[in-house]
Copies of this chain bind each other. A is one copy, B any other.
């Protein structure tokens, strides 16, 4: 993952999730326009309704004073600086834009992208400490040495790993997503190895931790959110992951690590048509593929449920999800 700019945020504007501490106060916000609508009340008075968002949530705003002017000033997707008063209306927070408001569209260099890219909900320290705990449990010396090289000694690599998402849209599409996904898959694989003791646990867990490492070159974060890089499009994370791990093995001269580890990286998508150049041909490669798939799907399902219920807590069925090819049950009715 290439951070195309330094994500240093100097400004002190609060995030949307912090606004419950500002009720009835004036604030200045840096937010993105998610949608807008120019409306007319029963008396024929025009007003502008905007939904703002940042990575922490969404906020409804209303402008009774400069509706038409501000409407023609901003487009959906613009990042703006806006001031106003936070009020509680209809059970939700709302920003009232005042008559003397100064709504300004910002250029890309006037704000930090980080405001608009989500992060893993699990604190990064917690993820990393779990990672080190897993590495500690590996008994195979060469596999452990390899993991320590990648996750401890090569600081640049490790920093990229911590900040990378594991997806563009479908799953773990937020900063820290790659680490979260890798550790969860490793934990699940550890459980699987307990139930099928004939599996090579150390190999399985090492493969789990490294399977998506190539994704650090797949994505960059910029003003449009997460975008796929040229390397992501032309080479892809599966081959990049192979290259990273293969070079470390060669550098450390770990002659005891067999092709089975690299095979797990190459085959973890499970089927050729899902982008693996080779099918899984060892039990550990099979398990990695299936567990990885399970975690991806559950992460997606969890996201869909949360987003849909956030919008409408009584919704019974999600919208059709083109990635899963179905609607999901959100709340069920008892048979009764």
Contact = CB atoms under 8 A, between A and B. Distances in A.
B256 A235 contact: no
B286 A301 contact: yes
State the number of copies, please. Answer: 6
Given A188-B195, A192-B188, A195-B184, A329 B272 contact: no
A281 B327 contact: yes
A128 interface: no
A68 B45 CA distance: 12
Interface in A292-336: 293-294, 297-298, 301-302, 305, 316-317, 325-329, 332-336
B188 A281 contact: no
Interface stretch (A96-104, A144-152, A226-234): A226-234
Contacts of A335: 255, 257-259
Contacts of A291: 294
A239 B266 contact: yes
A277 interface: yes
Given A191-B191, A266-B236, A230 B333 contact: yes
Contacts of A233: 278, 281, 317, 327, 329
A108 to B, nearest CB: 15
B234 A259 contact: yes
A242 interface: yes
Contact of A298 (B39, B230, B256, B286): B286
Instruction: For the complex of A and B, list the 8 residue pairs with the smallest distance between their C-beta atoms, beginning with the closest.
Output: A255-B336, A191-B191, A234-B263, A273-B273, A277-B277, A40-B72, A290-B294, A234-B259
28 contacts: A39-B72, A40-B72, A191-B192, A198-B302, A231-B259, A233-B278, A233-B281, A234-B260, A234-B263, A234-B266, A234-B329, A234-B332, A235-B259, A239-B278, A243-B246, A256-B334, A258-B332, A260-B332, A266-B277, A272-B272, A276-B277, A277-B277, A279-B325, A282-B328, A283-B302, A286-B301, A290-B290, A291-B294
